[in-house]
Amino acid sequence: MSDFSYLSAPRTTPYNYRTVVDVFNETSTSYPEKEILIYRGIDGTRNALTYHQLQNEATKLARYLVSKGIKKGDKIALFGPNTLEWVIAELAIIMAGGVVVHVTLSITDVKDLWEIFSSADCKAFLIDPGKGEKYLDMIFQLIALFRRRRPSRDYKDINSNDPTLVFLRKSEHLTSYEDLPGVLQMKEMEVEFPTLYPEDEIMIFTTSGSTGKPKMVSHTHFDVNNVELGPERPKALTLAGKMYNDRPFAWGAGSPILAVCRGETRVFCDSSIVTEKSSTMKIWEVIREEKCTTALLMPSFLADLISQKENYKESFKLQAIITTGQPIENYHTQVIDTYARFLIFGYGSTESSMISMLPPITSAGTIKAGDVGTPIPGTEVKVIGENLNVLKKGETGEICIRSRYLFNGYYQNEELNKEAFLPGKWFRSGDVGHITKDDHIIIEGRTKDVISRGTQRIMPCTIEDVILQMNGIKFAIVVGVPDKRLYEEVCVCYVTEPGFDLSPSDLKQFCKDNFVMYDSTGGLAEAPTYFLRFCKIPLLDVGKINKRKVKADAIQRLRTQGLI
């Protein structure tokens, strides 16, 4: 056996060389009345789509898009919270030959959204305006940008001559534009759909880059149809299963297309509810009422379930809980026997999908810190040193991945692609770790300063750039501090300009005005939690900010105050 830090797991099943549309149509024809998507509100609301309904409504919207001039390969942005309409829109874009550009919004400014739209050269935008007037100001700014190419909060003169806009629900403020309910009532249009191939792009996920600028990660039909999400199961069990998964649809782990193609019913709630600890048992009641067999639940949610363990008297338990997004500890395994028969932990990324998994955990307190298991079938992993050569087992370095499901590169970012890939199409994950003698991957940390709050990776500079716009702020350094529930929380360390007396409360209010508490897909957004005023910022000998010292000081001060 080689001593090199290299692992490979051969794929045991043939590749599925078909398009998503082919797979969807086949499954839809076989199970037309099967409920494939179920939206649940914690107030008891229940709305569902059968395969037949989803196919019918997505096809109508796809015909509309083609009639408006959408061609194969055109990028179409999709924005909104988790809804049934969102899935109809995504499937319609794919049917029409378009590439779905998933858009999320973290601050109350449309500039970052516009940057994604323009960078991808999107030909259309499908938007959920939200309940009430939640996103109206953002939408008006976006429309103004379409026409004037610059932001304006006051410009609200809109008409239907802008790039194709379709809203996923009716709004009395947006009557000049088509909406999904109206499109579904239109007379059937005769159009010709393009021929699709497995290697065609299907969707682009947006994720924060090292500079805070969005990175766009592209995946193909082939990637989606062949990605491994867990232990292999017979098709009959998948079709009979029902999974609860409230992860934002615009995130890789939340993509509803995977469920639609595999035939496993997906139950979901509004993602923003999950971040509220008071909703934990209400969500669990939804899972119980729907008789789910599995659930994808974040580590923070597991911690909330465990806190209610002594009060839980029901006999219902899931076959399995799947968790991912951040490291887990032995504490999280306490869900076993009470809430599920076993726990599955997976390690992955937007770029590579799932990379490795631990064997199903069947008893509490049996995992090693940082252990993310072994590669899933069809995946290779190696650990490299600073000279980019593979290390020996047990030596710490950067984790690199290679697989057939790996993305082809960041969209229109050759400079970043040169940094991210090694010869032989090895992808540099940015995670630091080692491979043990028994061939398990151990993650020890990250190569960058990214903050992991829950399942969200937050780049400090994106927050710093906003805070530095506040009058009187001289320095703003954002660091991650330990948090038992979310793994890390966001802390702002700041220094004021002479003559300015800005308290932590002042900054908290500024952030409340400039950040949304939850992003548009329902997850925790980038709003900071802690604010610490510094008299001066420690510097390195070369004059650069000593971020390590800033972080250590912040952690010490917060611990002294009893906040962490």
pLDDT tens-digit map of 525-534: 678 999 999 9
pLDDT number for residue 521 = 45
Q: What band does 116 get if pLDDT is binned at 50, 70 and 90? A: confident
Q: Find all residues with CB under 8 Å of 180, minimum gap 6, and list them.
A: 61, 85, 88, 89, 166, 167, 168, 169
Tell me the whole-structure pTM to 2 decimals.
Answer: 0.81
Whether residue 449 is predicted with pLDDT greater than 80 in this model: the reply is: no
The average pLDDT across 74-88 equals 94
Decide the pairing of beta strands 265-268 and 242-245: parallel
Look up residue 531 and give its amino acid: F
| Orientation of helix 84-95 relative to helix 51-67, angle to 10° | 50
pLDDT at 366 over 90: no
Q: Which of residues 13 and 62 earns the better pLDDT score?
A: 62
pLDDT single digits (tens) 289-310: 999 999 999 888 898 899 899 8
* pLDDT score recorded for residue 60: 97
Mean pLDDT confidence for 337-357: 94
Alpha-carbon span 406 to 423, nearest angstrom: 14
pLDDT for residue 118: 84
For position 224, what pLDDT does the model report? 92
Q: What is the mean pLDDT of the chain?
A: 87
Closest CA to 366 of 335, 337, 329, 399: 329
The architecture that CATH gives domain 48-196 is 3-Layer(aba) Sandwich (3.40)
Residues of the chain with CATH 3.40.50.980: 48-196
What pLDDT is recorded for position 277? 72
Would the pLDDT of 502 be above 90?
A: yes
The hierarchical CATH code for the domain 6-11+280-446 is 3.40.50.12780
Count of residues in the chain: 564
CB 205 within 8 A of CB 353: no
CA 360, CA 377: separation in Å to the nearest integer? 16
Ranges for all domains in the chain classified under CATH 3.40.50.12780: 6-11+280-446
* CA 473 – CA 322 distance, rounded (Å): 43
Q: Are 492 and 528 in contact (CB under 8 A)?
A: yes
pLDDT at 237: 59
Highest mean pLDDT among 45-59, 116-130, 241-255: 45-59
pLDDT at 522 over 50: no
265 to 221, 464, 484: CA distances (angstroms): 20, 41, 32
What span, in angstroms and rounded, lies between the C-alpha atoms of 170 and 526? 29
Yes or no: say if 430 and 448 are a contact pair by the CB < 8 Å rule. yes
pLDDT at 542 over 50: no
pLDDT of residue 341: 97
In the chain, ranges of CATH 3.30.300.30 domains: 451-560
Cα separation, 462 vs 459, in Å, equals 6
**Per-residue pLDDT at 524 exceeds 60:** no
The span from the CA of 180 to the CA of 91, in Å, is 13
Give 235 or 430, the one with higher predicted confidence: 430
Q: What CATH architecture does domain 451-560 belong to?
A: 2-Layer Sandwich (3.30)
The mean pLDDT value for 220-239 works out to 74
Which tops the pLDDT comparison, 155 or 67? 67
Structure tokens at 153: 């909060």
Counting residues of the chain whose pLDDT is more than 70, the rounded percentage is 89
Residue 31 CB-half CA count within 13 A:
18
- pLDDT over 70 (residue 230): no
Give me the DSSP letters along 510-539.
Answer: HHHHHB-SB-TTSSB-S--SEEEE-SS--B
Confidence of residue 156 (pLDDT cuts 50, 70, 90): very low
pLDDT at 374: 96
Q: Is the dihedral of CA 16, 20, 26, 31 positive or negative?
A: positive
Residue 374's identity, in one-letter code, is T
Of all residues in the chain, what percent are helix, strand and coil, respectively (each to 5)? 30, 30, 45
In this predicted structure, the answer to whether residue 105 has a pLDDT above a threshold of 90 is no
